[in-house]
Amino acid sequence: MDNIIYPTVDLFLYDLGEGLGQPTTNITSNRRRFCQKIYPDLEKTDAKAFLDKLEEAEKSDKDFLPLGGIALASDLDGYYYPLLLRDTYALHVDFSGSKTNKEDEPQPIKNLADLKQIILSKIDPQPDAGKWRGTIGETWLIWGQLTDAQQNSKQVAEECYKQLAPKAEGIISKANQLLGGTLYEFNQHSSSQETSHILVWLFPPGEDLKLLKTKVSEVYFDFIRLFCYRNKINWAYRESRQIKEDLKDKYRLGRESIINFTKQTNSHSYSLDTLRENLTDNLDAISNYTDSLIRLNAQSVTIKVNLDNYRKRLKMLAKKDDNNLLKSLAEFRNYALEKYLSQIESDSANLTPGLTLLENLIRTIQGIIDIEQTKSDRALNYTIAIASFGLGLSGVTATIISTQLASPKDPPEKINPISQSYAFGWSIAPLAIAAIIWGVRRFLRPR
C-alpha cells in the first residue's frame, strides 16, 4: 500500500440548531447534544461555559459566527472548531495524528482509518450507534502530499477513500483542481445518511509542507460553508421524502373517509351526533394535512436558498486560484436543481388536491348538519306552535264550560251536555293533530 506525507483527516459535521416551529425545549436539547460532541460531561465547568457561549451566540443575527478553537488533546495534532451558521451548528474537527510524528515523513495510508476512529471516539461515545453524528449531515476530507511523481494520484485517492469507507462498492470519483492539488470527490450525488460525502485532496511531491498547510487552512472557512449548504440540501430532500410518505397516507385516509361518508348518506344511517363527530375528525385531518403540505413546501424553499448560497460560495472558492477547476462540485448544484427541487415541486403539485378533497368533504358534512339542524328546529317549533294553539283553545273551552255552570245563588238550570262535548272536542283536536303529525314525521325520518 502507498504512503503519503502528512495524512490529515478533517470532519465537517452539521447539526440542526433550530428547526421550523420547534419548541424551546427541543432547541435546548439540540444545543446540549451539540455541546456533548466536544464536552461529553455537561456538568463540567468548561461544558457549562461553552453552553452559555453558544446560547448567547444564537441571539446574534450574523450568518457566520466562529466560537473558537479547542485542542483535541495535549499530545494530539488536531483541534475542534465549532461555529454557528444561523440555525445550524457546525463542527470542524482536524486531526493529523500524534505530535511526536515527523510531519515530512511518509506514513502508511492505512493510518487514515485510525485517524477517523480517534475523531469518532472524541465526538461519539458510541461510534457504532451513530447517536452523536450530525443530524443534518457530514463531509469528510482527507488531504496529504504524494511521496514521488511515480505515484498514481487516482489510485492513491481510492486507497485513501477505502480507509474511511471500507464497505464501499462501485467506487466512482471525479477529479477537481484546487490550489495546485487534485481534489477527488466520492459519493457525489448521494443524499443517504448511510453514505458519507468524502473528498481526497492530494498535492504533488516536492512542495514545501508549511506552504501546503497554509494553503489548506485558507480554504477551511470556504469548505465549512460550502459543505454546510450541500448537506442542508441533501437533508431537506431526505425530509421531503418522509413528509411525502406521510401526506400519501393522509391522502389515502381522506379518500376512505369520503367513501364511508357516502355510504352513510346513501343509506340514511346517520344522526346529528355522528355527523358532528365526523366533522371534528375531518377538521383535525385537514389541519394535519395542511401542516404537512406546508412543511413539504418549506423543504423546497430550503433547497432553493442553499443552492443559491452553494453557487455563490463555489464561485468565491474558484477565485482563489485562476487555475482552479471545480467541475464535480459545480455538477452537484445542477443535479440538486434538476432532481431534488423538481421532484419536491412535482410532489407538492400532486398532493395539493388532497387539501381540496378534505375541504369539500368538510363543506358537505357541515351543509348536511345545517340542513338536519334546520329540519329539527322547524319540527320542534311547529309542534310547540300547535300545542300552544291547542292549549289556547282548551282555555277557551274551559271558559265556555265555566259560564254554563250554575251559580250557587241562581236556581238550577239544565246544562247543555252537547255544547260542552263540542267545546271539549275542539279543544283536544289540535293536540291530536299535532300528535299524528309528529308520529308520521318520526316514521318517515331517515334511520
Mean pLDDT, rounded, of the chain: 81
> What are the grid coordinates assigned to 120, written together?
469518532
How confident is the model over 64-89, as pLDDT tens digits? Answer: 888 999 999 999 999 999 999 989 99
Whether pLDDT at 219 is above 80: yes
pLDDT at 384: 43
pLDDT at 134: 87
Angle 198-7-73 from CA coordinates, rounded to 5°: 100
- Long-range own/partner contacts, residues 294-299 (CB < 8 A, 24 or more apart): 295/20, 295/239, 295/243, 296/240, 296/243, 296/244, 296/247, 296/344, 296/347, 296/348, 296/351, 297/344, 297/348, 298/20, 299/236, 299/237, 299/239, 299/240, 299/243, 299/344
Comparing CA positions, the residue from 83, 13, 62, 17 lying closest to residue 231 is: 13
> What are the grid coordinates assigned to 152, written together?
498514481
pLDDT at 296: 95
CB of 329 closer than 8 Å to CB of 225 = no
Please state, in angstroms and rounded to a whole number, the distance separating the CA atoms of residues 179 and 201: 10
CB of 296 closer than 8 Å to CB of 246 = no
CA dihedral 428, 434, 435, 439 (to 10 degrees): 160
- The domain spans of the chain are 3-230, 236-359, 372-444
Mean pLDDT of 153-180: 90
Query: Which one has a higher pLDDT value, 193 or 310?
Result: 310
pLDDT at 18: 82
Residue type for 252, please?
R
> What are the grid coordinates assigned to 70, written together?
479547542
Please state, in angstroms and rounded to a whole number, the distance separating the CA atoms of residues 58 and 44: 21
Q: What percent of the chain is predicted at pLDDT more than 90?
A: 51
Mean pLDDT of 204-210: 94
> What are the grid coordinates assigned to 300, written together?
423546497
Q: How far apart are the first and last CA of the chain?
A: 84
- Phi then psi dihedrals of residue 322, to 5 deg: -65, -20
How confident is the model over 334-377, as pLDDT tens digits? Answer: 999 999 999 999 999 998 888 787 777 777 777 777 777 777 65
Mean pLDDT of 264-292: 76
The CB-side HSE value for 369 (13 A sphere, CA atoms) comes to 16
pTM: 0.79
